[in-house]
Amino acid sequence: MRNLLLAGCIGAAAAFAMTAASASENLQKMSQNPKDWVMPAGNYANQRYSELKQINTGNVGKLQVAWTFSTGVLRGHEGGPLVIGNVMYVHGPFPNPVFALDLDHDGKILWKYEPRQDPNVIPVMCCDTVNRGLAYDNGKIFLHQADTTLVALDAKTGKVLWQVKDGDPKKGETGTSAPLVVKGKVLIGISGGEFGVHCRVTAYDENSGKMVWKAFSEGPDDQILIDPQKTTDLGKPVGKDSSLKTWKGDQWKIGGGCTWGWISYDPELDLVYYGSGNPSTWNPLQRPGDNKWSMTVFARNPDTGMAKWVYQMTPHDEWDYDGVNEMILADIDVGGKERKVLVHFDRNGFGYTLDRGTGELLVADKYDPKVNWATGIDLKTGKPKRVAKYSTEKGGENHNTKGICPAALGSKDEQPAAYSPQTHLFYVPTNHVCMDYEPFRVSYTAGQPYVGATLSMYPPEGDSNMGNFIAWDAAKGKIVWSDAEQFSVWSGALATAGGVVFYGTLEGYLKAVDAKTGKELYKFKTPSGIIGNVMTYEHKGKQYVAVLSGVGGWAGIGLAAGLTDPHAGLGAVGGYAALKNYTSLGGQLTVFALPGS
Amino acid sequence: MRNLLLAGCIGAAAAFAMTAASASENLQKMSQNPKDWVMPAGNYANQRYSELKQINTGNVGKLQVAWTFSTGVLRGHEGGPLVIGNVMYVHGPFPNPVFALDLDHDGKILWKYEPRQDPNVIPVMCCDTVNRGLAYDNGKIFLHQADTTLVALDAKTGKVLWQVKDGDPKKGETGTSAPLVVKGKVLIGISGGEFGVHCRVTAYDENSGKMVWKAFSEGPDDQILIDPQKTTDLGKPVGKDSSLKTWKGDQWKIGGGCTWGWISYDPELDLVYYGSGNPSTWNPLQRPGDNKWSMTVFARNPDTGMAKWVYQMTPHDEWDYDGVNEMILADIDVGGKERKVLVHFDRNGFGYTLDRGTGELLVADKYDPKVNWATGIDLKTGKPKRVAKYSTEKGGENHNTKGICPAALGSKDEQPAAYSPQTHLFYVPTNHVCMDYEPFRVSYTAGQPYVGATLSMYPPEGDSNMGNFIAWDAAKGKIVWSDAEQFSVWSGALATAGGVVFYGTLEGYLKAVDAKTGKELYKFKTPSGIIGNVMTYEHKGKQYVAVLSGVGGWAGIGLAAGLTDPHAGLGAVGGYAALKNYTSLGGQLTVFALPGS
């Protein structure tokens, strides 16, 4: 009997392993069908690139709005829809409704799911009540709710298949990021860097919701799933207690390093990639040391969570330069050699190109020339060359350091960049914003803000534009072209085989530009400011481009939450005050296509 | 000294009279410039007709969305914008924001005004938190707030010039209707027929906000501004106490007759026209008598408020067939004679044509063939020929009368019809809905619901469509063509010299049809269900068509207020339950134009 049971278990495990493997293969394969848009970033490489080319540089000027849809929710709409076959899945910010829309009938609602969530989660969401999107696999839609609940819904009916609570909003733990499904596991991060959350990425079995592994950003090796000998940092083993050694006392337990950015995956190397956020608190004097592994790129095995390599962009952060921004995977020529790289536009204003197999640092340069807190990155040590006058801790607590570029929301924040294999360029929505930063002493209380700094934000001296949309050569570390925008470009980019790149603006324009030159080819004023990510799909032989409007997010928090104190919203309210002259709250999907049937 | 003062007063009065007269002439003249849209109905005649014809039957199929704007408010968006020169004025439901948008810059916000209102007004708004639009005159924008405050704003800056409270939400008095400015006076009605409000129309001086006159719908002659000898009903003087005699005791003091519909004006006859609503309560057994002058067309002098004539459509209402629907003024051939008529599509399902100078009843016929509560209207007596089995009081209280057509929300509600002088046809958005009605005893408490009936609504037997968009010949009392719609057409129509008629649907489609045939020429799915009124304007040589989306109103109250009990929303929730499969809450303006610059 025992043997039989055991055999049965092995059989089940083997069957599961196969299912898992095929699930991953299936998603990878599905992402290669340009008619669908099966994951928020379009593909595992996070390239936000589509092979569709019916809309091209010659005809994009004739683009029209094909149909529209209101989510019924106001405040910031980050993320974007998925399309699988004839169905589009649209999500919204808190209370996180999910809609399945029938593409055969102008977006008729096939089903709607709206979780019941305690509204007390709203005050612990630092930067608006955003949600960055859904994941799909094997007939299931996965929603990561504001209250950290991960829900699996039947993609056909919207019925709840299982749900699991990932964190506790009472401690300031919230869910804002999109899940990524890899090999039958749903990976999610967590938000709460302004509440002293001890952050991690967790993998759940897609069929049962059971936890498979959990990897913290800071703490003992067995909690951060780092092997002191095998896990490397710029090619060298990290050694024992690589995180603990860089924190004073137990500060790491409330050390942030949150994980609310995008996750990417290389099926060939079998590694997932993501970044960790700021160390808590924002007052650097309260946490001496490098604060590892906050501000770090992690390359982890998706089955076990074990880290293959790590790289910390901003040791001992003094500016809230979270490392959460997405890792875009591409194969490009660097110095005459085809390299499998990972490209990352960090909040700190540097664009990094690393070998994604080894973590070797190949290129690191400013993608906004006004970045001034560091003069460059030492490619050997990986460390930034800091400029003393922009240190926020040198002057001690309650000293206001002025003119630091970029501001805390970085030269880029969560708004994802795109990569075109046609042009070999990266298209990056950026913030062109500087700040004054004054750290102050703060004590930790679970669920209370644990920020410890007062900020003001404004455009760089001499500039009136608060954003640029740029094309970046990641092999050379150079800006190829740059389009100035009045406000930060807080929308995710889309690159297409039609030679057109799309992005949205905080005033509400969807813009299409020439991928080679940046020349504006089309713009349209959508109902509200755009912080959503542009996507494209094909339905009945026609290419569509879609984007969520709904001003908000960190840059738009003043409008979204009705704040007027210029220092509120972690310093963003004053900087973006003029936004109210251009747009108003909303929550709409706008779908574009060329004229004719 | 005394004489001097007197002379001074006379001088001031004369000066005022001149200003007032020129104000009226000015508005009348402005409304004849088809580039602008200076009052919600387009002109004083409430025709919702535009001379613009760049968009015509031949090219309307190529219409595109030009730009869009989100109001930042959810729930039902009735009404529509005004356009004066390069500025568009957009309003929203509670909390009633007003935006001045720069047409030269894709709707950049020139100013925004948002009143502070006690949210306790929301529960006393019977049929969603709607607002039907703004008025303009002499550089001022007039807003009639939910809490009944009438505000005058500087049209250039949005600054408050004056404000006056018209009623008391604590008694159930609310503001939903658009003001009409006539000869320097701002006329507004009041809502609250389901709260036993004693309703009236009030005129305020446009420069000072001082009350000029107030005319109740029920009560003593001096309160209803009726002259027993001079005011006529079908050509005969109404006589003394024409209202009081038709009520038992003091019931008239809580007698409803609300005035939240559209007001029209004939400058030549110098008469304003509007209708009064249902007598309170909905339980007819509690208020024996004709309940005059509820359910009545009033023709009043705009300077004094005195009634020239009255006509009651539904004496002793048993079905909530409010008489508030708009009066459209037109000059048409009736029986071989050119007549100055007033055409009114009543909630009771009959389309009335009256001589607007005398109140003579010329035509009255069903504009929905399924209307069954009466077989016709006696043109001599003006009285409906009732069908006994559909009386809701015959069975006594707590008896459920079934299969009454139309339902309480009428064959048409506030959604305004349009008239084209080209085709001489009226274009009417209709409800095709029947009901069961069960009256029950209710006692009056100020500010508490005073409804006294339980309702269910559903499409007429054998039909699946809950609405029709029809063309009506008001001279013959005949439907010329009828387009079936799945749901009630709760949007206002627009007729144009291009031979195209526009309307919106509850699912969210803007539709353009051929004015002669009703053939659908264009449709577009806007973000949310449309209960707004379509308007058109010209800017820089280009014709635009604009409409507010934002599902709600009485028909959409289930979605708007999140109600699920089928009897809730005065019986509408069950009838329109399927709407949730088509659209979601929103608040957006969509502006259309032909391609090219």
For residue A4, pLDDT over 50 is answered with: no
Contact (CB, 8 A) for A218 and A255: yes
The C-alpha atoms of residue A457 and residue A480 are separated, in whole angstroms, by 27
Query: Which amino acid does the sequence have at B426?
Result: F
Contact (CB, 8 A) for B279 and B291: yes
The C-alpha atoms of residue B84 and residue B110 are separated, in whole angstroms, by 14
Query: Which amino acid does the sequence have at B275?
Result: G
Q: Closest approach of chain B CAs to the CA of A568, in angstroms?
A: 21
Residues from chain A that touch B102, judged by Cβ atoms under 8 A, are none
Strand partners, A113: A98
Q: Closest approach of chain B CAs to the CA of A540, in angstroms?
A: 18
pLDDT in tens, B85-103: 999 999 999 999 999 999 9
Tokens matching residue B357: 């100078």
For residue B491, pLDDT over 70 is answered with: yes
The CA-atom distances, in angstroms, between B206 and each of B11, B24, B161 are 19, 11, 10
Contact (CB, 8 A) for B548 and B530: yes
In the sheet with A327-334, reading across from the earlier edge strand, the strands are A327-334, A337-345, A350-355, A361-366
Is A584 close to B69, i.e. CB distance below 8 A? yes
Strand partners, B364: B352
pLDDT value, residue A11: 41
Instruction: Give the nearest chain A residue to B596 (CA atoms).
Output: A62
Is A589 close to B99, i.e. CB distance below 8 A? no
Query: Which amino acid does the sequence have at A424?
Result: H
The C-alpha atoms of residue A479 and residue A365 are separated, in whole angstroms, by 10
What is the residue whose two structure tokens read 């399924």? B370
DSSP A190-258: -B-TTTT-B-EEEEEETTT--EEEEEESSSSHHHHT--TTT-EETTEE--TTTTGGGSSTTGGGG-B--
Q: Tell me the Cα Rg of chain B.
A: 22
pLDDT value, residue B597: 64
Is B524 close to A67, i.e. CB distance below 8 A? yes
ipTM of the modeled complex: 0.93
Contact (CB, 8 A) for A363 and A378: no
Residues from chain B that touch A71, judged by Cβ atoms under 8 A, are 584
The C-alpha atoms of residue A155 and residue A140 are separated, in whole angstroms, by 5
Q: Closest approach of chain B CAs to the CA of A319, in angstroms?
A: 33
Is B70 close to A108, i.e. CB distance below 8 A? no
How many CB atoms sit inside 10 A of residue A543's CB? 21
How many CB atoms sit inside 10 A of residue B403's CB? 15
pLDDT in tens, B115-139: 999 999 999 999 999 999 999 999 9
Spell out which chain B residues touch chain A, with contact meaning CB-CB distance below 8 angstroms: 62, 64-65, 67-72, 74, 97, 99, 106-109, 112, 508-509, 524-528, 549, 580-590, 595
Query: Which amino acid does the sequence have at A478?
Result: K
pLDDT tier at A24, thresholds 50, 70, 90: low
Q: Are strands A82-84 and B211-216 parallel, antiparallel or unpaired?
A: unpaired
Is A580 close to B68, i.e. CB distance below 8 A? no
Mean pLDDT of B301-305: 98
Of A62, A508, A588, the CB nearest to B527: A588
In the sheet with A211-216, reading across from the earlier edge strand, the strands are A180-182, A185-188, A200-205, A211-216
Of A72, A509, A584, the CB nearest to B584: A72
The CA dihedral of B31, B35, B40, B46, to the nearest 10 degrees, is 50
* Catalytic residue list contains A137: no
Q: With CA atoms as reference, report the closest residue to B387 among B368, B397, B401.
A: B401
The C-alpha atoms of residue B393 and residue A216 are separated, in whole angstroms, by 72
Is residue A420 helix, strand or coil?
strand
Catalogue the active-site residues of B: 320
Is A72 close to B74, i.e. CB distance below 8 A? yes
User: What count of Cα atoms within 13 Å lies in the side-chain half-sphere of residue B263?
Assistant: 33
Instruction: Give the nearest chain A residue to B548 (CA atoms).
Output: A527
Q: How many helices (H) and strands (E) does chain A have?
A: 4, 40
Q: Are strands A327-334 and A307-312 parallel, antiparallel or unpaired?
A: unpaired
Q: With CA atoms as reference, report the closest residue to B135 among B192, B93, B177.
A: B177
pLDDT value, residue B15: 41
Give B343-354 as a 3 state SS string: EEECCCCEEEEE
Contact (CB, 8 A) for A537 and A546: yes
The C-alpha atoms of residue A149 and residue A142 are separated, in whole angstroms, by 10
Residue A321 is given by DSSP the state: -
pLDDT value, residue B6: 41
Instruction: Give the nearest chain B residue to A562 (CA atoms).
Output: B72
pLDDT in tens, A564-583: 999 999 999 999 999 999 99
For residue A25, pLDDT over 90 is answered with: no
Residue B547 is given by DSSP the state: E
pLDDT in tens, A393-411: 999 999 999 999 999 999 9
C-beta pairs of B8-16 under 8 Å, 24+ apart in sequence: B16/B184
pLDDT value, residue A596: 84
Is A108 close to B586, i.e. CB distance below 8 A? no
The CA-atom distances, in angstroms, between A491 and each of A50, A132, A143, A200, A488 are 17, 11, 21, 25, 9
pLDDT in tens, B441-483: 999 999 999 999 999 999 999 999 999 999 999 999 999 999 9
Phi/psi for A26 (5° steps) reads -60, -45
Percent of all residues in chain A with a pLDDT value above 70, rounded to a whole number: 96
The C-alpha atoms of residue A159 and residue A141 are separated, in whole angstroms, by 10
- Sequence length of chain A is 597
What's the longest Cα–Cα distance across chain A?
80
Of A64, A582, A588, the CB nearest to B108: A582
Query: Cis ω on the peptide bond leading into residue A406 (within 30° of 0)?
Result: yes
Catalytic site residue from A320, A322, A436, A483: A320
The C-alpha atoms of residue A255 and residue A250 are separated, in whole angstroms, by 9
pLDDT tier at B23, thresholds 50, 70, 90: low
The CA-atom distances, in angstroms, between B410 and each of A386, B377, B455, B541, B553 are 73, 16, 13, 40, 14
Q: With CA atoms as reference, report the closest residue to B137 among B45, B273, B38.
A: B38
Query: Which amino acid does the sequence have at B306?
Result: M
Instruction: Give the nearest chain B residue to A107 (CA atoms).
Output: B582
Mean model confidence pLDDT for chain B: 95
Residue B30 is given by DSSP the state: H
For residue A22, pLDDT over 80 is answered with: no
pLDDT value, residue B596: 84
Q: How many helices (H) and strands (E) does chain B have?
A: 4, 40
Instruction: Give the nearest chain B residue to A524 (CA atoms).
Output: B67
Is B582 close to A108, i.e. CB distance below 8 A? yes
For residue A5, pLDDT over 90 is answered with: no
Q: Closest approach of chain A CAs to the CA of B537, in angstroms?
A: 19
Strand partners, B88: B83, B101
Give exposure, A391-407, as e/b (b: 16+ Cβ within 10 Å). bbbeeebeeebeebbbb
pLDDT in tens, A463-501: 999 999 999 999 999 999 999 999 999 999 999 999 999
| Reduced DSSP (H G I as helix, E B as strand, rest coil) percent helix, strand, coil of chain B, to 5 | 15, 35, 50
pTM: 0.94
CA angle B275, B472, B489 (to 5 degrees): 70
Label residue A94 exposed, middle or buried (CB < 10 Å: 0-12, 13-18, 19+).
buried
For residue B17, pLDDT over 60 is answered with: no
Is B70 close to A590, i.e. CB distance below 8 A? no
Q: Which helix (H) or strand (E) holds B185?
A: strand B185-188
Q: With CA atoms as reference, report the closest residue to B361 among B352, B349, B351.
A: B352
Mean model confidence pLDDT for chain A: 95
